[in-house]
Amino acid sequence: MRLAWLTDIHLNFLGGAARTRFAERVGATGADAIVITGDIAEAPDVDVLIAELAERAGLPVWFVLGNHDFYRGSIAEVRARVAALADLRPDVRWLGAGGVIRLDDHTALVGHDGWGDARLGDYAGSPVVLNDVVLIEDLIGLDQEALRARLHALGDEAAARLGADVDEALTWARHVVVATHVPPFRDACWHQGRVSGDHWLPFFACGATGEVLRAAMTARPDARMTVLCGHTHSGGEAKVLPNLQVLTGGAVYGAPSVQCLLQV
């Protein structure tokens, strides 16, 4: 089983012909399926563009959503639309809905969107203001403390769902591949060749999912986990535990790429 891993492809920045060329390039990799770790497009047409990619690449698409996928919409609305798309198309699956995909007898794929959950770094002292608070309905107009509470809640939700799926996967799998948008660990939070500083970490890392993944793999030294993530647009690799590796994908707006073909 070969997975073509894509992240932060922001298809809304491409015209139709460029999207077709990209989909055909992904289809030509020889992959058996596509895994996308979020920031696929924006709310108005993310579901349409996922279906288009599946069709034009001729491959199943398994994905999580990133913060940009909710831009110009709300979290509940976008999640409902991609869940409805997945109900219609067996070749499309939003991993955030829960469940475990069996890649082979020993390998499982699980995932959740994750969220920059204000748990790592210095939230109170950070001057960073992401477009999220202007473009995602759920986050508009919140003061700093209300926003912190909302970001914590989004991280907790991701951690709870992901933790349950990881536990289920580990009942039979020896290798668990986790797809998530936001890097779950400080050391995986690459930005321009180095780990993000304390002002960016609250928005670039999901502390809650990291705790759950670290605990799961600490308890299971006989199994291993590969986490795929994106969000920072800067690639890198982190070994969080001997059996827990995190790959963070790089990205350039307007020039989507295949991160790698993952052989499992």
For Fe ion, the binding residues (CB under 5 A) are 39, 66-67, 231
* Residue that is written with structure tokens 């059996």 in the block: 243
Minimum CB separation of residue 66 from Fe ion in Å reads 4
Question: In the complex with Fe ion, which residue's Cβ is closer, 20 or 257?
Answer: 257
Question: In the complex with Fe ion, which residue's Cβ is closer, 223 or 229?
Answer: 229
Q: Given the DSSP bridges, would you call strands 224-229 and 244-248 parallel, antiparallel or unpaired? A: parallel
Strand blocks (E) in 83-235: 92-94, 101-102, 107-112, 175-180, 190-191, 194-195, 224-229
Q: In 10 A of CB 254, how many CB atoms?
A: 9
Minimum CB separation of residue 64 from Fe ion in Å reads 11
Q: Are residues 204 and 191 in contact, defined by beta-carbon separation less than 8 angstroms?
A: yes
Question: In the complex with Fe ion, which residue's Cβ is closer, 91 or 138?
Answer: 138
Minimum CB separation of residue 12 from Fe ion in Å reads 13
Minimum CB separation of residue 107 from Fe ion in Å reads 26
Listed residue (125, 96, 101, 121) closest to 232, CA to CA: 121
Listed residue (215, 214, 195, 194) closest to 205, CA to CA: 195
Question: In the complex with Fe ion, which residue's Cβ is closer, 40 or 217?
Answer: 40
